[in-house]
Amino acid sequence: MLAKTQSVALVGTDAHLVEVEIHIGTGVPSFTIVGLPAKSVREAEQRTRAALVSSDEEWKASRLVANLAPGALRKEGTHFDLPLALGILSARDRIDPGRLTGWVAVGELALDGAVRPVRGVLAAALACRSAGLRGLVCPAANATEAALVEDIEIVPVQTLRDCIAWAQGRWAPPPPEAPIPPEPEDIENLAEVRGHEAAKRALEVAAAGGHNLLLVGPPGSGKTMLARRLPGILPPMATDEALDVTRVHSVAGLLGERTHLLRSRAFRTPHHNISLAGMIGGGPGLARPGEASLAHHGVLFLDELTLYRTDVLESLRAPLEEGQVRIARAGGAICYPCRFALVAAMNPCPCGYAGDSLRGCRCSHHALDVYRTRLSGPLLDRFDIQIAMARPSRDDLLGPPQGESSEVVRRRVKAARALQVDRYGSTRTTNASASKRQLEKAGRLSAPARAMVGLAVDSLALSGRGIDRVLRVARSLADLAGEDDIGEEQVGEAISYRTLDGDMGVGA
């Protein structure tokens, strides 16, 4: 007796269709799962057997083989329980095989027959739609997540009994519950930041072009306060961006019941003791997305940058360039998207008061040399904008709030981003992430501006990447000004944001 059902295998944020073949034959009673299954899949034997018995289905002693095809694709996760159970019932004529045609099933089975939620249901639903299949059978707790994908049917099931009744035509599933509307965002207002006009300008430029930003200043200068106001001036995500972000959180298992499409840009602030796997992804079994991927289309903020492990910081270099994380495994590489803006804050020296107007630096030359070596030149080179922040003055701290609100700045940022959408033809591409060829087409330099870049190369010893970063920031400045060409003024301001290169502002 042979029966077939369908499920998916998760590879990064993508789901690949898997055919679950069940064969029941004669011989020594056994239950064997083949097709490159991980340990979590092989353990499905015990869960499936107990769930079927708890659902009043007879478990007959026989030689049972389950093949997960294609065999070259590694299968991980507990979501294969439900399709295995349905395949066994179909092979034993408890379910009409035709009822399962065109359906994909995912779900973990409890020993009492309950169907538990699993990760990656949104990716599974997208795979269903891409393959032109009818729909998805999934845990009721994941149904709202699956319903975010249009043009497919969703069958939410609480228990294996419900699933069997549906497959036998005796039960019609209720429609997925409507998503819980998101709570109104509590946006921290940029107008609350006292002083720091140059730093606020840099923050606006970073938001306009998706640039990486480094803030250097003594304790209490307002670095963290300023960084936390970046999400409030970023434009809202387009639908395709929101779907990308929601899919990453689905694979990470961070979506709750009755979830909505994630429309708010992430602001991730990992602690400085985070591990390498925690930052870029990994872990045992199915590799989970790390903080870099959870910040996709948002902001990754690293406070006290020099306290992070060197290997963790250096691991961000390639993702910052490529916009994705590659996690090498025995069965192949797993890729997670991670196109984010990196914002970091640090003190200018170990004691924190180098260059401070009120407190003198107590650090020795040796301590300063050691401090400088904590961050590599290639990593610092990837910060498009580097700003030194001084302690706010008494008038700034005690006077009335001044400066523009986040909403006013956000309107300018949205206008600049709209120009980039027209230029690059995608909401996912910004001046910071555009290819070299795209930037060359968009970055027309006037003759005085080109001469200024040449002078900066000689005086600041800018690397090739440094020059590229200057031109990208200058392009964003031109977009904020609504100008087609990059002028001398934009290049000059962009170069001013690279003056911390080499010494990180230590002793400035």
Highest mean pLDDT among 253-257, 264-268, 467-471: 264-268
Average pLDDT over every residue of 224-246: 92
- Are 263 and 236 a contacting pair, CB within 8 Å? yes
Q: Are strands 153-157 and 2-11 parallel, antiparallel or unpaired?
A: unpaired
Q: What local confidence, expressed as pLDDT, does residue 504 receive?
A: 46
Q: Is the pLDDT of residue 460 over 80?
A: no
Helix (H) or strand (E) holding 33: strand 30-34
Average pLDDT over every residue of 468-496: 91
- Are 291 and 274 a contacting pair, CB within 8 Å? yes
Q: What local confidence, expressed as pLDDT, does residue 508 receive?
A: 34
Across the chain, what does the average pLDDT equal? Answer: 89
30 and 155 in a single domain? The answer is yes
Q: Please indicate, yes or no, if residue 174 is contained in any of the structural domains.
A: no
Q: What local confidence, expressed as pLDDT, does residue 506 receive?
A: 39
Q: What local confidence, expressed as pLDDT, does residue 184 receive?
A: 62
Residue type, 412: R
Quote the CA–CA distance of 140 and 115 in Å, as a whole number. 8
Q: Please indicate, yes or no, if residue 17 is contained in any of the structural domains.
A: yes
Average pLDDT over every residue of 229-243: 92
- Are 235 and 417 a contacting pair, CB within 8 Å? yes
Residue of 26 and 319 predicted with greater confidence: 319
Q: Please indicate, yes or no, if residue 253 is contained in any of the structural domains.
A: yes
Conformational region of residue 273, where left means phi above 0, alpha means psi within -120 to 50, and beta covers everything else: alpha
322 and 359 in a single domain? The answer is yes
Q: Please indicate, yes or no, if residue 451 is contained in any of the structural domains.
A: no
Q: Is the pLDDT of residue 259 over 80?
A: no
Average pLDDT over every residue of 449-460: 80
Choose the final residue of a domain: 410, 428, 446. Answer: 428
200 and 301 in a single domain? The answer is yes
Q: What local confidence, expressed as pLDDT, does residue 447 receive?
A: 81
Peptide bond preceding 173: is omega within 30 degrees of 0, i.e. cis? no
Helix (H) or strand (E) holding 20: strand 14-25
Vertex 304, ends 357 and 242: CA angle to 5°? 125
Q: Is the pLDDT of residue 8 over 50?
A: yes
Q: What local confidence, expressed as pLDDT, does residue 435 receive?
A: 86
Q: Please indicate, yes or no, if residue 471 is contained in any of the structural domains.
A: no
Burial class, 363, CB count within 10 angstroms (exposed 0-12 / middle 13-18 / buried 19+): buried
pLDDT in tens, 409-444: 999 999 999 999 999 988 888 999 998 888 877 767
Q: Which residues contact 293 (CB under 8 A, 6 or more apart)?
A: 248, 252, 280, 281, 325, 336, 337, 338
343 and 392 in a single domain? The answer is yes
Quote the CA–CA distance of 276 and 290 in Å, as a whole number. 9
Q: Please indicate, yes or no, if residue 69 is contained in any of the structural domains.
A: yes
53 and 147 in a single domain? The answer is yes
Quote the CA–CA distance of 482 and 431 in Å, as a whole number. 14
Q: What local confidence, expressed as pLDDT, does residue 257 receive?
A: 66
Average pLDDT over every residue of 252-268: 83
Q: Please indicate, yes or no, if residue 311 is contained in any of the structural domains.
A: yes
- Are 341 and 267 a contacting pair, CB within 8 Å? no
Q: What local confidence, expressed as pLDDT, does residue 276 receive?
A: 93
Indicate the DSSP class of residue 486: B
Q: Map residue 188 onto helix, strand or coil.
A: coil
Q: What local confidence, expressed as pLDDT, does residue 476 receive?
A: 95
Average pLDDT over every residue of 492-498: 90
With a pLDDT cut of 70, the percent of the chain lying above it is 95
Query: Of 13-22, 241-250, 441-450, which range is least confident?
Result: 441-450
In degrees rounded to 5, what are phi and psi of residue 100? -95, -5
346 and 216 in a single domain? The answer is yes
211 and 326 in a single domain? The answer is yes
Q: Which domain holds residue 158?
A: 2-167
Q: Which residues contact 381 (CB under 8 A, 6 or more apart)?
A: 463, 465, 466, 469, 501
Q: Is the pLDDT of residue 180 over 80?
A: no
Quickly state the pLDDT bin for 353 (edges 50, 70, 90): confident
Query: Of 72-76, 479-483, 495-499, which range is least confident?
Result: 495-499
Q: Is the pLDDT of residue 298 over 90?
A: yes
Average pLDDT over every residue of 388-397: 78
With a pLDDT cut of 90, the percent of the chain lying above it is 57
pLDDT in tens, 15-62: 999 999 999 988 888 899 999 999 999 999 999 999 999 999 988 888
Q: What local confidence, expressed as pLDDT, does residue 331 receive?
A: 62
Tokens of 55: 């659902």
Q: Is the pLDDT of residue 501 over 70?
A: no
Q: Is the pLDDT of residue 212 over 70?
A: yes
Q: Map residue 17 onto helix, strand or coil.
A: strand
Average pLDDT over every residue of 89-103: 92
pLDDT in tens, 355-381: 777 788 889 888 888 888 888 888 988
- Are 71 and 62 a contacting pair, CB within 8 Å? no
Q: Which residue has the tokens 């092989």?
A: 42
CATH code of the domain in which 153 resides: 3.30.230.10
For every residue of 110-178, DSSP letters joined together read PTTSBEE--S-HHHHHHHHHHTT--EEEEEGGGHHHHTTS-SSEEEEESBHHHHHHHHTTS--PPPPPP
Q: Please indicate, yes or no, if residue 475 is contained in any of the structural domains.
A: no
Number of compact structural domains in the chain: 2
pLDDT in tens, 112-163: 999 999 999 999 999 999 999 999 999 999 999 999 998 999 999 999 999 9
C-alpha R_g of the chain: 27
Q: What local confidence, expressed as pLDDT, does residue 359 receive?
A: 82
Q: Map residue 349 onto helix, strand or coil.
A: coil
Q: Which residues contact 150 (CB under 8 A, 6 or more apart)?
A: 129
287, 324, 333, 507 from 290: Cα distances, Å: 9, 11, 15, 35
Half-sphere exposure for 108 (CA within 13 Å, toward CB) = 16
212 and 127 in a single domain? The answer is no
Q: What local confidence, expressed as pLDDT, does residue 481 receive?
A: 92
Q: Map residue 392 onto helix, strand or coil.
A: coil
Q: Is the pLDDT of residue 271 over 50?
A: yes
Q: Are strands 63-69 and 30-34 parallel, antiparallel or unpaired?
A: parallel
Q: Is the pLDDT of residue 502 over 90?
A: no
Q: Is the pTM of this model over 0.85?
A: yes
Average pLDDT over every residue of 471-481: 93
Q: What local confidence, expressed as pLDDT, does residue 334 receive?
A: 85
217 and 146 in a single domain? The answer is no
22 and 114 in a single domain? The answer is yes
